[in-house]
């Protein structure tokens, strides 16, 4: 299984970006997928997660209302639409996947629950 993130870049405050996480080697519908980020000097944190089968999602409180996670099972791809970006959103963004299990949503911001990780994509928010 491989995960490849794309869509990062430099954006001005208030701007938007859409990140993609392309999954190969297994069907997205069997997975739970999370987006995490790591800002300079900080620990990695979960921001959003989604169940590949039914699209159930959960958001970390600081991004709720500005970030939207979605998936396209036909393309085996998960997206993170980020609106209203601010400098504090600057980080390397990672996607991660695990075989879905019953309590996945409740655990989805726990890094050890994930088996597969992408290499990350840089998001920089600056004027």
Q: What is the mean pLDDT of residues 41-59?
A: 96
Percentage with pLDDT > 70 across the chain: 100
With a CB cutoff of 8 Å and minimum separation 6, the contacts of 107 are 113
Across the chain, what does the average pLDDT equal? 97
- List, for residues 70-96, the tens digit of each pLDDT value: 999 999 999 999 999 999 999 999 999
Contact 31, 54 (CB under 8 A): no
Q: What is the mean pLDDT of residues 18-41?
A: 96
Structure confidence at residue 20 as a pLDDT band (50, 70, 90): very high
Structure confidence at residue 7 as a pLDDT band (50, 70, 90): very high
Integer-rounded Cα radius of gyration of the chain:
13
- pLDDT for the residue numbered 109: 97
């Amino acid at each position: 299984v491989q995960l490849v993130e794309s869509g990062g870049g430099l954006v001005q405050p208030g701007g938007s970006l859409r990140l993609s996480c392309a999954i190969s080697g297994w069907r997205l519908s069997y997975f739970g997928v999370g987006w995490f980020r790591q800002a300079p000097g900080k620990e990695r944190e979960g921001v959003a997660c989604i169940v590949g089968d039914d699209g159930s999602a959960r958001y970390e409180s600081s991004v709720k209302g500005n970030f939207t996670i979605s998936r396209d099972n036909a393309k085996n791809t998960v997206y993170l639409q980020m609106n209203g970006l601010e400098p504090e959103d600057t980080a390397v963004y990672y996607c991660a996947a695990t075989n879905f299990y019953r309590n996945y949503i409740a655990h989805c911001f726990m890094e050890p629950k994930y088996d597969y990780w992408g290499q990350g994509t840089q998001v920089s928010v600056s004027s």
